[in-house]
Amino acid sequence: MLTAFARAFKTPDLRKKLLFTLGIIVVFRVGTHIPIPGVDYRNVQTCIDNAQANQGLFGLVNMFSGGALLQITIFALGIMPYITASIILQLLTVVIPRLEALKKEGQAGTAKITQYTRYLTIALAILQGTGLVATARSGALFSGCPVASQIVPDQSVFVTITMVITMTAGTAAVMWLGELITDRGIGNGMSILMFISIAATFPSALWAIKEQGSLADGWIEFGTVVLVGLVVIGLVVFVEQAQRRIPVQYAKRMIGRRSYGGTSTYIPLKVNQAGIIPVIFASSLLYIPALIAQFAGGNSGWKIWIEKNLALPDAPMHMVLYFLLIIFFAFFYVAISFNPEEVADNMKKYGGFIPGIRAGRPTAEYLSYVLNRITWPGSLYLGLIALVPTMALAGFGANQNFPFGGTSILIIVGVGLETVKQIESQLQQRNYEGFLR
């Protein structure tokens, strides 16, 4: 592994891409520590040090921003608006015929959909930035902090608009940095920035577990977390790489005196075909009632019930609903992202067939049957991994700081595997070229 890493930096074009990607990462991390105008940075640090952030509502966005959300910096929203916009456009592509037609147009249609995603990202950044500023002004961003209401001393309209514009511009800058990595660096830019944002929170989370621990000065808790994390990473790598390969045979065709086709290939159906999307959907949906209850006045019965059963991540009702929603969204997203009838039609058009299955509708029914069977273990796996932070080390009281689980570890492993594959493929191209010479 170290030899391949050294060889990557010895290859001139690959070295330029790697160094360019590292440079963009440095710029991104610097931006996550620059506070926006109108915020009292000392009070923010006081609340972060002495009070517990409202992780139930803002934990997901704070993780995707690399901790910049709670520090209210220029990159406070991170890439969350872009992720949300991409998911919305994917869902609308199935519903709106115009977007579906653009998707089938190839590169030109994809460029149009990308442009729509950028516009929607800016609109969502304005909405989320306004909500974050309103939350910071009311003091609800931190719980139990005596200076939480003094984070934004000047609450005039001009200062509020300036803060929202600054965070929106920061989101646009993050989106631009991600596209630069995609065009001139290694890997998918947005995925790389997401990877860095999550990985940046690991050291502080692990050290907090050690500081809060009581057994052997916290080292037993620390070691247990690391051990559980390694087991979770091994499980995630194993399942993420698992796939069901459906064999496909293409019949031979004679065109003139030459014969075409006659090849054998396969359709790879991953066990986790939906990826991280069901976890994000389920988390976002469960945060909505807690967010409404937080801003609702009074102490009505429904508000107390929501705060007791849905707002707390370790509440039994929250865990059961979270698990069931992940399973539902796993099947839902697989159904809209993989169309067995379209795949069967394309196979029939080019003379392909699954051995033992007739082309056309029987092939679509077989693909749908196999997809439903492998989606069940994939959805159960997603639900169990997402609940690891809540269940693991609950006896130590460190579940809120447990970093190796749920959304974070799925993204870390997925992006890491994909980036390594891209570097490896470029190295193999170089080696094959040198060998042929």
User: Of 66, 61, 52, which Cα lies nearest the Cα of 291?
Assistant: 61
Q: What is the 3-state secondary structure (H, E, C) of the chain?
A: CHHHHHHHHHCHHHHHHHHHHHHHHHHHHHHCCCECCCCCHHHHHHHHHHCEECHHHHHHHHHHCCCHHHHCECCCCCCHHHHHHHHHHHHHHHHCHHHHHHHHCCHHHHHHHHHHHHHHHHHHHHHHHHHHHHHHHHCCCEECCCCHHHCCCCCCHHHHHHHHHHHHHHHHHHHHHHHHHHHHCCCCHHHHHHHHHHHCCHHHHHHHHHHHCCHHHHHHHHHHHHHHHHHHHHHHHHHHHCEEEEEEEECEEEECCEEEECCEEEEEEECCCCCCHHHHHHHHHHHHHHHHHHHCCCCCHHHHHHHHHCCCCCCHHHHHHHHHHHHHHHHHHHHHHCCHHHHHHHHHHCCEECCCCCCCHHHHHHHHHHHHHHHHHHHHHHHHHHHHHHHCCHHHCCHHHCCCCHHHHHHHHHHHHHHHHHHHHHHHHHHHHHHHC
pTM above 0.85, yes or no: no
Per the document, the length of the chain is 437
User: pLDDT digit of tens for each residue in the chain (437 aa)?
Assistant: 567 667 777 778 888 888 999 999 999 999 888 888 888 878 777 777 665 444 545 666 666 666 677 778 888 888 888 888 888 888 788 788 888 888 888 788 888 988 999 999 999 999 888 888 887 887 777 766 777 677 888 888 898 899 999 999 999 999 999 999 998 888 888 888 888 888 887 887 778 777 776 777 778 878 887 887 888 888 888 888 888 888 888 877 666 666 666 678 888 888 888 888 888 788 777 777 776 776 665 677 777 787 777 777 677 888 888 899 999 989 988 888 888 888 888 888 878 888 888 888 889 999 999 999 999 999 998 888 888 766 654 544 544 455 666 677 888 888 888 888 888 777 777 665 433 34
The owner of tokens 């508000």 is 303
